[in-house]
């Protein structure tokens, strides 16, 4: 299906089932964190999924390509991102499988209802007011800093919309890991799997992937490290595989 592009927009190939996505580099483009989360998250045949803070829809589009999930809903507050995400869904003929909803993460359980999804995914803003300078570009600032929602909001609403034993998947920064686990536990989400992502084998991790189960029993599995680069600007084989190259 042909869709219109606005000024500064482009179409990028996702290397999965021929799917493509509309992006605008002057606003916000998806990063590696979203791609890694779409690989880390597990969706079984027939399950329904909600992506909180979907941006331009990269996670539900990739997960529809990689899994046998029944239906994917995605929540985003920024109107421009919603518009791009909806056009990307049409571009890929996925309107029967993916629905982009405009709304506030803080109201997710009111929008969708409680205990309705088997899986929730989220790539939330990483920084709060104590962490770094805010980008003067508001769309980018909203994506990176907790301007419109907090970590507490994301986890609370994710827990609320999940069915019992549903799975919550998130990518975040390791420096907030203690806070993440504490808030997950407060909302009856038990951390079950964790994987740290390292830019290079001899560097500190800069991302963490987490799976938590609603009402799960305590037992956390720390998976082997994921290293992004084996040499300067040369991905490891696992990263190439995740990207579908």
Backbone phi, psi, residue 51, to 5°: -105, 120
Domain hosting 94: range is: 9-243
pLDDT of residue 29: 86
Query: Is residue 1 in a domain?
Result: no
Tally of CB atoms within 10 A around 1: 9
Closest CA to 84 of 175, 12, 161: 12
Task: For residue range 160-209, list pLDDT tens digits in order.
Answer: 999 999 999 999 999 999 999 999 999 999 999 999 999 999 999 999 99
Tally of CB atoms within 10 A around 55: 25
Query: Is residue 192 in a domain?
Result: yes
pLDDT of residue 49: 98
Query: Is residue 123 in a domain?
Result: yes
Structure tokens at 93: 């003929």
Query: Is residue 39 in a domain?
Result: yes
Mean pLDDT score across all residues of the chain: 91
Closest CA to 120 of 189, 178, 66, 20: 189
Q: pLDDT category, 142, cuts 50, 70, 90?
A: very low
What is the distance in angstroms between the CA of the first residue and the CA of the last residue of the chain? 25
Could you give the CA distance from residue 190 to residue 224 in angstroms, rounded to a whole number?
20
Taking a C-beta distance cutoff of 8 angstroms, is the pair 15, 243 a contact? yes
Question: pLDDT exceeding 90 applies to what percent of the chain?
Answer: 83
- Judge whether residue 83 has pLDDT over 70: yes
Query: Is residue 3 in a domain?
Result: no
Query: Is residue 19 in a domain?
Result: yes
Query: Is residue 164 in a domain?
Result: yes
How many domains are contained in the chain? 1
CATH number at residue 190: 3.40.50.150
- Judge whether residue 36 has pLDDT over 70: yes
Closest CA to 172 of 138, 201, 131, 134: 131
With 0-12 / 13-18 / 19 or more C-beta atoms within 10 angstroms meaning exposed / middle / buried, residue 2 is exposed
Query: Is residue 4 in a domain?
Result: no
pTM for this model (two decimals) = 0.92
Radius of gyration of the chain (CA): 17
């Amino acid at each position: 299906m042909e869709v219109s592009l606005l000024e500064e927009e482009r179409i990028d190939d996702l290397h999965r089932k021929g799917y493509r996505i509309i992006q605008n580099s002057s606003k916000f483009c998806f990063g590696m964190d979203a791609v890694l989360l779409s690989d880390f998250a597990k969706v079984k045949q027939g399950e329904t999924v909600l992506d909180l803070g979907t941006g331009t829809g990269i996670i539900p589009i990739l997960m529809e390509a990689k899994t046998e999930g029944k239906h994917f809903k995605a929540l985003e507050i920024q109107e421009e991102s919603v518009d791009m995400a909806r056009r990307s869904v049409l571009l890929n003929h996925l309107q029967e499988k993916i629905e982009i909803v405009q709304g506030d993460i803080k109201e997710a359980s009111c929008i969708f209802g409680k205990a309705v999804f088997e899986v929730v995914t989220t790539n939330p803003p990483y920084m709060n007011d104590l962490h770094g300078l805010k980008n003067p570009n508001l769309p980018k600032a909203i994506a990176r800093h907790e301007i419109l929602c907090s970590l507490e909001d994301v986890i609370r609403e994710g827990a609320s919309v999940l069915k019992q034993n549903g799975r919550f998947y998130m990518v975040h920064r390791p420096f907030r890991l203690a806070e993440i686990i504490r808030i997950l536990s407060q909302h009856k989400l038990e951390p079950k799997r964790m994987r740290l992502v390292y830019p290079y084998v001899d560097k500190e991790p800069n991302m963490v992937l987490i799976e938590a189960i609603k009402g799960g029993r305590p037992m956390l599995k720390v998976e082997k490290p994921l290293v992004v680069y084996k040499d300067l600007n040369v991905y490891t084989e696992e990263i190439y595989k995740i990207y579908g190259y």
